[in-house]
Every structure is written in C-alpha cells, then in structure tokens.
Amino acid sequence: MQTLILIVEDEEDLLELIEYNLAKEGFETLGFMHTKNVEQALEEESVDLLIMDRNLPGVEGSEFVASIRAKGFDLPVIYLSAKNRDNDIEEGFKRGGDDYVTKPFNMKELILRIKAVLRRTRHEASHGILEHRDMKLNLNAHTLHVAEQEVELTKLEFDLLHTLMNNHNVVLDRDYLLEHVWGNDGIYQDRTVNVAINRLKEKIDPDKEKEYIKTVRGVGYTLC
C-alpha cells in the first residue's frame, strides 16, 4: 500500500512541484490550497504524513495543526513555511510539528526529511522503539540500549532522551526542554537543564567518544 502524504500549500505551482517530486519517489499525495476540507480528508483517508504551510488563507497552519492535535489526530506533521525566525520555528514545534523546513528549501532535503520522519514515527507506532545511531529507546519497556548494552536511566533522563530523539538535528532551547520534560510547573535553577544533559551524556557516552548530544552555545542542545 502506497504511503499517502497530504500537502497544504497555497502556492499552486509549488504545490504541484512537491506533488510531482513525491510521486517520483513512489508516494501518493493529496493537495490542498487551504485548510478547508483537510480535516474531513484526514477522517476519510488513511493519511501517513501531513505537510503544512503556515501562511494560509483563513486559518494559520500551525493553529490548524494544534486544533487537530486537540481532537486526537496524531499523524506526523512537517511544516514547510517562510516563517523562519527562531520564535516561529519553536512555535511550530509547540503546536504539534515533528519537523520544520523553511522556505526557500531544497527538494531533496525535504524528501529526506519526509522519509526520516516516516521511518521514526512508524518505528515508534509499530514497535514502541526509537532508534538513533546505536541507541534503541524502548518506550514500552522504558529501557535504553546503547550498542546492545542496557543503560539504566532515571525517568527524567529517559524523558529527556526521548524528547531529544523525537527532535534529532533540531536545536532545543532550555525553555522548550523545561516545558516538555520537566513540565515547567516548578521553580528551577539556571543550571537544571545543563546538569541533566551532562548526566545523560555521561551515561550514554562514558568514554566521550561518540558525542550524541551537542551543545549549541547560547541556543540549546541537539541530538546529532
């Protein structure tokens, strides 16, 4: 069965170009120029991935995604948007995005990101396992294996690694991690995230040879 990708893009030429290139890769597509009827299509079709522009007539794209997330739609979402400021990108992830591609973009990179998101979300959905390099995070058993060796993590460390793996190659700032890992419901010291990251690094890479987690000075942290 072909993978079905639904695309919402209000520039007709760009929509057709994306559909053409995805068809060449063997994907089936549904194209819309606004969000009207998209929710109905999601209910009626077995959609595997949603590609969402943000500057749309009517409802803004990320607001639409947030609304369908609230209704229980859990399909992966990639934003494809000219909104490229750090705050815009952070907002997109907070409103239910799994990845964010800024315009102008490289078509080959978009296709690679589509395949990566589909691969990751299918692993998580079908097996409850997230994989990155030689790490396997089992969401059902709450275990981590690095190079086939089990590594014991606290719940906080597990949740922190889970968040990083869900957003690999994306730089996550301190506030994002506090909200999504700690719940942002307490008072934290300035070094709370830094200390937790360092403890996690020590557990998953005690010999400091692999550099799974990179610190981007003044910005945040990313899994690489």
Instruction: Supply the CATH number for residue 29's domain.
Output: 3.40.50.2300
Among 94, 125, 156, identify where a domain stops.
125
As a whole number of angstroms, the distance between CA 164 and CA 23 comes to 31
Helix axis angle, 192-204 to 155-166, nearest 10° = 90
Residues 74, 56 within the same domain? yes
Residues 6+ apart with CB under 8 A from 21: 107, 111
**Does 63 lie in the same domain as 155?**
no
Instruction: Determine the structural domain holding residue 92 and report its residue range.
Output: 4-125
- How buried is residue 185: exposed, middle or buried, by Cβ count under 10 Å (0-12/13-18/19+)? exposed
Per-residue pLDDT of the chain (224 residues; tens, 9 = 90+): 578 999 999 999 999 999 999 999 999 999 999 999 999 999 888 899 999 999 998 899 999 999 988 887 878 999 999 998 999 999 999 998 999 999 999 999 999 999 988 887 775 555 677 788 889 888 878 899 998 899 999 999 999 999 898 777 678 888 888 888 887 555 666 688 899 999 999 999 999 888 999 988 888 898 88
Tell me: do 10 and 119 sit in the same domain: yes
Domains held by the chain: number: 2
Q: How far apart are CA 48 and CA 74, in angstroms?
A: 10
